[in-house]
Amino acid sequence: MAALTCNPMELSPCMSAILSSAPPSASCCSKLKEQQPCFCQYEKNPQLKGYMNSSNSNKVANFCEVPIPKC
């Protein structure tokens, strides 16, 4: 298995769900699961922190059943 590359652009399928109240797509959920080990790294990035901590991000993660780690 290839090593995971932490790339926040991989989460672009989730942007419409995070920025609106649209339900996340299947591709969003699969990308969230794939990028989950990177969440703490993203949260430390000042440009991404607002997205990671938004209530819509939590709703998307809950919808996709991807737990948000405590960083």
**Residue-range domain boundaries for the chain:** 23-63
Backbone angles phi, psi at 22, to 5 degrees: -65, 145
> What is the tens place of the pLDDT at every residue in 47-64?
999 888 899 999 999 999
Residues 53 and 68: beta-carbon distance below 8 Å: no
Q: Over the Cα atoms of the chain, what is R_g?
A: 11
pLDDT at 4: 76
Tokens 């590359």 belong to residue:
5
> What is the tens place of the pLDDT at every residue in 20-55?
888 999 999 999 999 999 999 999 999 999 888 899
pLDDT at 1: 47
